[in-house]
């Protein structure tokens, strides 16, 4: 990409700058000629794709498709990708449901190559949604090349509220359902683990035990285990700022034992 997002600092200070300049930076990023060519190619050719095998066989199409769901690093796993697409997500034993990452479910649902489904590739507005998601993801990836924590924070602002409000059938999620959705999204799972001050190894526990630990910690830190509180912009800011502060604190603790520095950072 010819335009790299500008991140002036780490932590909350850098985040504040990114938020203030986001629209201008995103506009410049979106004009990148390589990005434009790839997206134009996708929209011009995706309508001719009628099977998972055809999509997987076209590197440029597959690159845009995967990137829209934050799965761009998986592009060389072509056999697995084809299997995910061909299985769909309706069956409990479909590969997308067994991978433990809800992004695969969203990916296969976006194209509908699964059993008994009519592919969505000829629906222009659906494919335009894929391209729009790919552009946003590309920008967030570019931010992540400089600061991973800010990439995660951008993702949380974009996806968190939707993930904890309704299920795929439009029904309101229970609190337990909210946490299962969070744990099914690796970036958000990691974000909450850090923001709640939990050890890294909690992520390796049984999913039901994880939910219990996350709920208890959320009640202590945010006063609630109901994640719909983050639909309030002030609460979302609190979550993001806590996450960024904890991330920066961890970085400083690994290079410095200064208690004064850690205390001042948390108070910022």
Give the chain's end-to-end CA distance (angstroms, integer): 34
Stretch among 3-7, 62-66, 115-119 having the lowest mean pLDDT:
3-7
- Is a pLDDT exceeding 80 seen at residue 262? no
- Alpha-carbon gap, residue 162 to 172, rounded angstroms: 11
How many domains is the chain partitioned into structurally? 2
- Alpha-carbon gap, residue 223 to 119, rounded angstroms: 44
- Alpha-carbon gap, residue 15 to 7, rounded angstroms: 8
Model pLDDT for residues 150-206, shown as the tens digit of each residue: 999 999 999 999 989 987 677 889 999 999 999 988 899 999 999 999 999 999 899
2 assigned to some structural domain: no
Q: Are residues 153 and 114 in the same domain?
A: no
Q: What is the pTM of this model?
A: 0.83
3 assigned to some structural domain: no
State which residues form the domain around 174: 147-267
Confidence of residue 252 (pLDDT cuts 50, 70, 90): low
Residue count of the chain, please give it. Answer: 268
The helix-helix angle for 233-255 and 186-195 (nearest 10°) equals: 70
Degrees (nearest 5) of the Cα angle 246, 248, 252?
115
Q: What is the DSSP letter of 223?
A: S
94 assigned to some structural domain: yes
Confidence of residue 1 (pLDDT cuts 50, 70, 90): very low
- Alpha-carbon gap, residue 205 to 128, rounded angstroms: 39
Q: Which two three-digit tokens encode residue 105?
A: 């479910």
Q: Are residues 97 and 211 in the same domain?
A: no
Q: Are residues 129 and 160 in the same domain?
A: no
């Amino acid at each position: 990409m010819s335009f790299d997002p500008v991140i002036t600092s780490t932590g909350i200070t850098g985040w504040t700058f990114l938020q203030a300049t986001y629209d201008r930076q995103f506009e410049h990023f979106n004009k990148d000629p390589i990005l434009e060519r790839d997206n134009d190619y996708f929209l011009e050719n995706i309508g001719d794709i009628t099977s998972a095998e055809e999509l997987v066989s076209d590197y440029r199409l597959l690159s845009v498709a995967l990137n829209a769901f934050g799965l761009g690093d998986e592009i060389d796993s072509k056999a697995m990708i084809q299997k995910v697409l061909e299985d769909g997500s309706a069956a409990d034993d479909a590969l997308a449901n067994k991978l433990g990452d809800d992004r695969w479910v969203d990916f296969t649902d976006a194209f509908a190559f699964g059993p008994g489904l009519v592919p969505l590739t000829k629906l222009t507005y659906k494919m335009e949604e894929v391209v729009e998601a790919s552009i946003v993801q590309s920008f967030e990836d570019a931010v992540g090349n400089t600061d991973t924590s800010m990439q995660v924070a951008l993702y949380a602002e974009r996806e968190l509220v939707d993930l904890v409000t309704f299920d795929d059938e439009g029904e309101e999620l229970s609190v337990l359902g909210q946490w299962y959705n969070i744990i099914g999204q690796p970036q958000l799972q990691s974000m909450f683990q850090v923001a709640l001050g939990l050890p890294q190894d909690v992520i390796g526990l049984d999913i039901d035990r994880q939910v219990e630990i996350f709920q208890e910690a959320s009640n202590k830190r945010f006063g609630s285990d109901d994640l719909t509180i983050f639909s309030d912009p002030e609460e979302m800011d609190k979550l993001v700022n806590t996450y960024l502060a904890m991330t920066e604190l961890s970085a400083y603790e690994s290079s410095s034992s200064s208690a004064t520095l850690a205390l001042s950072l948390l108070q910022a």
